Amino acid sequence: MAILRLVGRRLVSSVPLLFLVSALTFVLVSLVPGDPARTLVGQHATAEQYAAVRAQLGLDRSLPLQYGHWLAGAVKGDLGSSLFSGEPVSSMLDSRLPVTLSLILAGTLVSGLLGVGLGVLSARRGGRLVRTVDALALLGLGVPAFWLALVLILLFAVRLRWFPVTGYVPLTEDPGQWLRALVLPIASLSLGGVAVIAKQTRDAVLDTLGRDFVRVMTANGFSPRSITYRHVLRNSALPLVTVLGVVLVSLFAGTVFVETVFAMPGLGGLIQQATVEHDIPVIQGAVLYVTVFVVLVNLAVDLAYSRLDPRVRAA
């Protein structure tokens, strides 16, 4: 029950964010120097044709009215149509969602498992591993995903031919090829996440290892393994969950680049293409999708927090 209430409260409180983002987008779009109707009908169209297209796009109405109209549509799942292909925006976005989601999901798994493993190991062993994690953190920040992707392509696709250079194979078509095509994108996407999580895990675990209860448990004969993996890790998980949320959102940003490099039919690639092509309805829809994604991530972080920390749960 308490959980449901928390979810409800969070969802309600995310409404202002959704409004703000979509309204801001609208205001920005109204500043666009060009005129989409003119672009669509071309230079030689008659005044009637031009007016008809304007009316069709809803551009003859005032800005608040346009926004209201868009919002009413959005609530029903209608986000308008692409200025270029004429395809409904929502179906364009939906068809590309699975690719991006599988990238993000895999990236999260890889970052989480490798990052936490490396972090715990370096906290317990110390010495050279500590420096390795520091160096990794620096590289994670310094090596941009798109350049790393190219280096990986050069080494593993062009030279060694272990993986395809670009492309995406749907899971339903051929699971083996699906996985092979995903390896390099996921690797280039995850470096940053692994680095951040490894460093945070190490710091959090070291911090927890110095706490009184660890000494009490050790003194009273609790098994070292249980202390590390049950108690210390769980107590270190709180700061980690926050970091994981940030990593998830940054993974999304990474997909914009990775999908472009690997020519994958995902949301990130679509946003890039729509930006280049000036396809405003697609951008608006994508922004809405991304904002909802961010809201959901934050909700998940809050839920995880309340699961992990009894003090938050009680509050």
Partner 1 sequence: MTAAAEPDPQALLSVRGLTVEIAGTPVVQDVSFDIRPGETLGVVGESGCGKSVTSLGILGLVPGQGRISAGRVLFQGADLAASPKALARVRGSGIAYVSQEPMVALDPTFTVGRQLAEGVARHTGCGRRAARARAVELLGRVNIPDPAGVADRHPHELSGGMAQRAAIALALAGEPRLLIADEPTTALDVTVQAEILGLLRTLAAETGLAVLLITHDWGVVADLCDRAVVMYAGQVVEQADVEALFTHPLHPYTAGLLAASPHAALPGQPLPTIPGTVPPPGAWPDGCRFAARCALVTEACAVPVALTEPAPGRTTRCVHADRLVQEGTRR
Partner 2 sequence: MTDAPVSASPTGGRRRGLVRGLLRRRTAVLALGWLLLLTLATAAAPLVTGHGPLDQDLNSVLTGPTRAHLLGTDTLGRDLLSRLLFGGRSTLFAVAEAVVVYLVIGVTAGLASGYLGGWVDWVIARTADLVFALPGIVVILVVLAVFPGNLHAAMVTFGVIGSPGLIRILRAQTLRVREELYVAAARVAGLSRPQILRRHILPRLTSTVVVQAALFAAIVVTVQAGLGFLGLGAPPPAPSWGGLVADASQVIDRDPWMLLPAGLPLVITVVALALLGDAVRDASVEAWAPTAPAVGGRRAPHPPPGGRPRRRRPRQR
Residues in contact with partner 1 by CB under 8 A are 211-213, 215-223, 226, 231, 234-235, 308-311, 314
Q: How far is the CB of 272 from partner 2 (least distance, A)?
A: 5
Kindly give the residue spans of alpha helices, DSSP state H, lying in the chain: 2-30, 36-41, 47-57, 63-75, 89-125, 128-142, 145-152, 175-209, 212-219, 224-226, 233-261, 267-277, 280-308, 310-314
- Binding residue for partner 2 (CB under 8 A) from 78, 260, 296, 309? 260
Q: By C-alpha distance, which of 236, 239, 241, 238 is closest to 211?
A: 236
**Residue 243 or 261: which CB sits closer to partner 1?**
243
**Residue 173 or 212: which CB sits closer to partner 1?**
212
249: contact with partner 2 by CB under 8 A: yes
CA 171 to CA 217: how far, in whole Å? 47
- Binding residue for partner 2 (CB under 8 A) from 211, 230, 275, 307? 275
Q: Which tokens in the block code for residue 21?
A: 């983002």
Residue list 2-61, contact with partner 2 (CB under 8 A): 16-17, 20-21, 25, 28-29, 31-33
101 binds, among partner 1, partner 2, none (CB under 5 to 8 A by kind): none
**Residue 244 or 274: which CB sits closer to partner 1?**
244
Residue 222, amino acid? F
189 binds, among partner 1, partner 2, none (CB under 5 to 8 A by kind): none
The crossing angle, in degrees rounded to 10, of helices 89-125 and 175-209 is: 40
Question: Quick check: 253 and 189 in contact, CB under 8 A?
Answer: no
Main-chain phi, psi angles of 82, to 5 degrees: -65, 140
162 binds, among partner 2, partner 1, none (CB under 5 to 8 A by kind): none
Taking CB under 8 A as the rule, which mask of x and - marks residues 284-303 in contact with partner 2? --xx--xx-xxx--x-----
Q: By C-alpha distance, which of 26, 30, 19, 25 is closest to 67?
A: 26
51-64 burial, b if ≥16 CB within 10 A, otherwise e?
eebbeebeeeeeee
Q: By C-alpha distance, which of 278, 280, 227, 314 is closest to 79?
A: 280
Q: How far is the CB of 213 from partner 2 (least distance, A)?
A: 16
Q: How far is the CB of 7 from partner 2 (least distance, A)?
A: 17
Main-chain phi, psi angles of 88, to 5 degrees: -60, 135
188: contact with partner 2 by CB under 8 A: no
**Residue 29 or 51: which CB sits closer to partner 2?**
29
308: contact with partner 2 by CB under 8 A: no
Place of tokens 């120097």: 33
- Binding residue for partner 2 (CB under 8 A) from 154, 175, 230, 313? 154
**Residue 191 or 227: which CB sits closer to partner 1?**
227
293 binds, among partner 2, partner 1, none (CB under 5 to 8 A by kind): partner 2
The crossing angle, in degrees rounded to 10, of helices 233-261 and 175-209 is: 140
177 binds, among partner 1, partner 2, none (CB under 5 to 8 A by kind): none
179: contact with partner 2 by CB under 8 A: no
Q: How far is the CB of 11 from partner 2 (least distance, A)?
A: 14
Q: How far is the CB of 216 from partner 1 (least distance, A)?
A: 5
Q: How far is the CB of 255 from partner 2 (least distance, A)?
A: 10
26 binds, among partner 1, partner 2, none (CB under 5 to 8 A by kind): none
Q: By C-alpha distance, which of 107, 182, 192, 187 is closest to 143?
A: 192
**How many residues make up the chain in this entry?**
315
